Amino acid sequence: MTEAVSASVGNELFLRNMRALWRRDPQLALMVDAIHDADRLTLTPTKSGHWTTTMATPQAKATYVHSRYDPIVEANRFVDTVSTDDAYCFVVSGLGLGYHVQALLDRLVGDAFVLCAEPSVELIATALTCVDFSDALERDRLILLTDNDKTRVHERLKERNALIMLGARFIQHSPSMRIAGPAQRAITEAIGDFVSFTRMTLMTLVANSRVTCQNIAMNLVNYVVTPPIDILRGRFAGDPAIIVSAGPSLARNIDQLKDLKGRAVLCAVQTAVKPLLERGVEPDFVTSLDFHEMSRKFFEDIGDLSGVHLVAEPKATWHVIDNYPGPVSLLDNQWARLVIGDELAGRDGLQAGATVAHLAFYLAVYMGCDPIIFVGQDLAFTGHVFYVPGVEIHRAWRGELNRFNSMEHKEWDRIVRNRPILRRIPGALGGELYTDELLLTYLEQFVQDFAAAPCRVVNATEGGAHLRGSEVMTLEEAATRFCSRPLDEGRFAYRKSTNWCDPSRRDKTKAQLDSRIEELDDVVGVCDELLALFEELKGLTGDPDKFNRRLVRVDELRTKVHNERLAYQIVNAHSQLAELQRFSADRRLSTKETDGVARAKHQLDRDVAFITSVRDGAVDVGGLLRDARDRFTQVMESA
C-alpha cells in the first residue's frame, strides 16, 4: 500500500498532497504550509521499512502512533474491525501518519468518504510526507478537521449532508485517543451535532414536503394579491430590532417591552403574540411559517391587528393567511414560481427559516436593523419548563389540571417525553441546561446565521442556551445602550399607502393552474407506460438484444419526461421521499459488485420504485392544484 519513503520521496508526496489540499481546503492548506520542515514530527523506521513516530500523552508519556514492526499490517487489522456496510461517512478520530486512513479508503467504494478528526497540524504535515492522499483529497473522499469550530464543520460538510444522513460510522484510532483524547472528543462531538442537525433537517423536509406543497397551493389565491416584502428592504436601517420568542425566560422581561414600543422594531413570533397583547404590547411585525392548522389558534379571538404586519412563508397553513386580521406579505417561494411562473410569483424572499424566530431574524436583517436583540429565545428548558406562561398550549391543557396534575407537571412531562434525545448544553448565564436534539438543531442554525449577519446580535433572553456569536446582556442594559431614541414614524407610513389586496392577477394565475394540471396528467400517462415497460424488461434480462431494443422506447419516454421538466420539478419538490429513496438506491448500487444481469435487475427495481413514486406524486399534486383552482373559482365568484 505504502512504501518506505526517503526524504526526497517524502517531499514529492507532500507537494502532491498539498496541491490537492489547496484546491479543496485552502484554509487548512495555509495552516499546514505554515509548518516548517523542522517542526514536523521525527520519523522512525520500522522493521518493515515504513515509518512510525511518537507523540506525548497528557501524562507526558511518549506513545508510538503506529507499530514499530509493520504499520501496514496493523492498519489492515484495524480496518478489518470496521464494517463498511450501510455507511457512507466514516468519522475517524486520529490521522496518525495516515496508514489506517488509507487502508480504510482502499476498501470504500462508490461515494463513501472518510472524515478524519486530527487536532495536530504538525502531525498532518508529517503524514502528508508518508502517504499519498492526493486522489482522496482531490475528490473530497478525505476531509480533515482540526478543531470543533462548528461554523467550519458546517461549511466543510454541508455538501455531503445527504450521504452523512444515509449512514455515518464513528471509529477511534486508539493511539490518537491516548495522545489527544479531549480534543478528539470535542471534534467528534461537533461532527455528531452536525449529523443530528442534518438528519433532523432532511427528515423534516421529507416528512413535510407534501403538506408544504398543499399549503403553498392553497395560499396561491392570497399569494398573488398580497404585496411582497420588497417595501421593507432596508426600511429600518440602523434601528434596533427586538425578536420576541415564546421561551420560558420571556416571563422575566415581557413587561419591559411595552416601554420599548416605538424605540425598537418589535418582531414577534406567532406563539408570542397573545401573551404580548395581554400585557398591552402590540408588536410591529409577526412571523409565521408553521404548516399545521393548529397555528390558526395563535390568532383566533385576537381582535384588531391592523398595526401588526404579518410576514409569512407561503408554506404556512392557509387557515392563518385567510383569517389574519391585519396586513399580510407572503415571501417568495420556488415551488410557487414553478407552478404559476416567475411573472406572477416573483418577489423578494428571505432565507428559509427553521423556526418563526429564525424567520423574524432574517426579516430584521433584511430591514437593515442593527443591533438585533433577542428575548425569550431559550432553545433550552430554562427552569425545567418549555413555554412562557399564557401561550396557546397552556389554554389547551387547562382542562387536564387538578391537584395531582399541575401546569408544572405538564411542562416537565413535555420535556421528559424526549428523554432519549435530551442533551446538556452551556447556559447563557453559566452552568448547564437540558435541551433536545430538535432545539439543538435550531441553535446550530442560529450560530451559522449570527456568523454571517452584517449586524450586531445581542442575547437579552436572560436565560436559556448560550448562543455563540451574540453578546449577552440584560434587556434593561440593551434598552439603555441601543433603544434610547424614538423611531422615525415615517418608516411605518407604507402601511397606509400600500394596497394590501390587488385581485387583478387572479385570472392569469388560474390559467397557469389549468396548464400545470394538464402537464401533470401527461406525466401520469408517461409513468404508466414506463412501469409497463419495466415489467417487460424484467423478463428480458437474459436476452440482451430484445432488452436493448425495448430500451429504445424507455429512452424516448425519459426524453419526454425531460421535456416536461417543469412538471417533473413540481412533483419532485412534493415527493422528496422518492428523491431520497432514489439517491439511497443509487448509492447502494454503486457499492455492489454484481454481474451485468444482476445489476440490470437491481436497476430495474430501483426505477420501478422511483417511477411509481413519481406517478403517485403527479396524481397527488394534480389533486392539490385542482383544489387550489377551486379556491380561485370560489373567491372570484364571490367578489
pLDDT tens-place string over residues 281-319? 999 999 999 888 888 888 888 888 999 999 999 999 999
Residue 138 has pLDDT above 50, yes or no: yes
For 204-224, b where at least 16 C-beta lie within 10 A, e where not — what string? eebeebbebbbbbbbbbbbbb
Beta strands in 437-510 (DSSP E): 457-459, 471-472
More confident residue, 386 or 490: 490
Which helix (DSSP H) or strand (DSSP E) does residue 559 occupy?
helix 544-563
**Is the distance from CB of 326 to CB of 306 less than 8 angstroms?**
yes
For cell 478520530, name the residue. Answer: 93
Other C-beta atoms lying within 10 Å of the C-beta of residue 425: 17
β-pair type (328-330, 432-436): unpaired
The span from the CA of 299 to the CA of 328, in Å, is 13
Q: Return the domain boundaries, the chain.
A: 7-201, 222-493, 504-638
The residue type of 336 is: A
- Which helix (H) or strand (E) element contains residue 532? helix 506-538
Question: Do residues 445 and 354 touch, judged by C-beta distance below 8 A?
Answer: yes
Over the stretch 224-268, which tens digit does the pLDDT of each residue have? 999 999 999 999 999 999 999 988 889 888 999 999 999 999 999
Task: Give the per-residue pLDDT at 103.
Answer: 95
Residue 520 grid cell: 401533470
Q: How buried is 54 (Cβ within 10 angstroms: 0-12 exposed, 13-18 middle, 19+ buried)?
A: middle
361 membership: H or E segment, kind and range: helix 356-366
pLDDT at 440 over 90: no
Number of C-beta neighbours around residue 39 at 10 A: 11
Q: What distance in Å separates the CA atoms of residue 265 and residue 120, rounded to the nearest whole number?
A: 47
Any bridge partners for residue 64, and if so which?
Answer: 54
Dig out the grid coordinates for 292 from the structure.
399545521
Convert the pLDDT of each residue in 577-596 to its tens digit.
555 555 555 555 555 555 56
User: Which one has a higher pLDDT value, 619 or 389?
Assistant: 619
CA distance 149 to 158: 14
Q: Nearest-CA neighbor of 367 among 350, 343, 389? A: 350
Q: Is the pLDDT of residue 570 over 60?
A: yes
Show the cell assigned to 150. 462548528
Give the Cα separation of 380 and 353 in Å (integer). 19
CA 126 to chain centre: 35
Instruction: Give me the DSSP letters along 438-496.
Output: HHHHHHHHHHHHHHH-SS-EEE--SSSB--TTSEE--HHHHHHHH--S---GGGGTHHH
What architecture does CATH give domain 7-201? 3-Layer(aba) Sandwich (3.40)
Range picked from 47-51, 196-200, 434-438, 548-552 for highest mean pLDDT: 47-51
7-201 and 504-638 share one CATH topology?
no
Closest to 102 measured CA to CA, from 63, 125, 128, 122:
128
Pairing state between β 62-64 and 54-56:
antiparallel
Residue matched to cell numbers 436497476: 603
The C-alpha cell that represents 361 in the structure block: 431574524
Domain 504-638 fold: Methane Monooxygenase Hydroxylase; Chain G, domain 1 (1.20.58)
pLDDT grade for 5, boundaries at 50, 70 and 90? very low
Lowest-confidence segment of 4-18, 35-49, 126-140, 368-382 by average pLDDT: 4-18
- pLDDT bracket for residue 386 (50, 70, 90): low
Most confident of the following: 60-69, 292-301, 535-544, 586-595: 60-69
Q: Could you please report the per-residue DSSP string of 120-151?
A: -HHHHHHHTTTS--HHHHHTTSEEEE-S--HH
Q: Please give the single-letter amino acid code of residue 318.
A: W
Upstream peptide bond of 371 is cis (omega within 30 degrees of 0): yes
